[in-house]
Amino acid sequence: MIHVLDTRHLGRAGIIASTLLESDEGPILFDTGPESTFENIVGELNANGFAPRDVRHVFLSHIHFDHAGAAWRFADLGATIYVHPRGGPHLIDPRKLVASATRLYGHEMERLWGTVAAIAPERVRVLEDNDIVRVAPFEIRAIATPGHASHHHIYLWDDNVFGGDVAGVRLGNGPAVPPFVPPELEIESWLESIAKIRALNPAKLYLPHFGLVARDIAAHLDALGERVIRWSIWFRDRLRTGDDEQKMTPAFADYLAAELQALGATETEVADYEHADPSFMAVSAASRYWRKHHPDEVELPAGRDSASS
């Protein structure tokens, strides 16, 4: 049995999930949600007949706070936390992670994500690409899938995939969109990761934002890949014209809202997408991506001889 647990982050349903798989060793969690919603997840566990202490295995897609923030709470109760090799050190010593998140969120940190605490090293188990963890009756395989973050895994068991953020954000009846967040956005590897998921041909895909995709997974992945490319080009073209991040943020919010509304989204649904995937983050991520990986693509024409370029 698989259950999608709703963290009801900031009181909003259907935005951030933790996914529960029932095993012979009790409930397995894929992502935990943020620490600020730990009590809601405890309530969801109770509603399914479990106590938080019953959770012995927590598989993290990546270490962003909306996915991994409550992992330390489960580790303190004895769970093993599985994570990508580049994520592990930040769970054991989260100071750098907190510092960089504080630059993004400022005084909102606590309200959004709750308390961040270190996880004891013996509770953290690093998984390399294709490592398999046996939790009877399942064999859970970690698959390295960078793009949204360099330290991202998806997990495969039977014909199910827990897709993390690289598999897209899809809320309500809305479309699949790629959450662009700094500092590790990488367009090329994101597209390769989508191809990896497609090759697995899963029957069921579970998303942290939000829940089960059981039909037309190929179409979901196609739509996601198309947006990864088109959005990145939208940002490239604005950077080329010299737009700064302050100017791009409302422009991208409008671009996204228009796209969602054209597909039939209500105002609430547009707001939900903005909540799951804030425009200011996408702008910061894409600007950083282009300047770091393709600086000559976004150089300003000013001062250059346009005839020679």
Task: Write out the residues near Zn ion by the rule CB under 5 A.
Answer: 64, 165
CA distance 33 to 47: 17
Shortest Cβ 283–Zn ion spacing (Å)? 16
Half-sphere exposure of 118 (CA within 13 A, CB side): 9
- How far apart, in Å, are the Cα atoms of 59 and each of 20, 75, 178? 10, 12, 21
At residue 210, φ and ψ (nearest 5 deg) are -150, 115
Residues 6+ apart with CB under 8 A from 266: none
CA distance 231 to 225: 10
Q: Which residue is nearest to Zn ion, using beta carbons?
A: 64
Shortest Cβ 199–Zn ion spacing (Å)? 23
Q: Which of 79, 185 has the CB closer to Zn ion? A: 185
Tokens of 20: 């529960």
Question: Which 3 state secondary structure label does DSSP give 129?
Answer: coil
- Over its C-alpha atoms, the chain yields an Rg (Å, rounded) of 19
- How far apart, in Å, are the Cα atoms of 215 and each of 29, 204, 205, 211, 250? 23, 8, 9, 12, 33
Q: Which of 64, 151 has the CB closer to Zn ion? A: 64
End-to-end Cα, the chain, rounded Å:
59
In terms of Cα–Cα distance, which of 235, 220, 214 is closest to 281? 235
- Which residue(s) pair with 26 in the sheet? 23
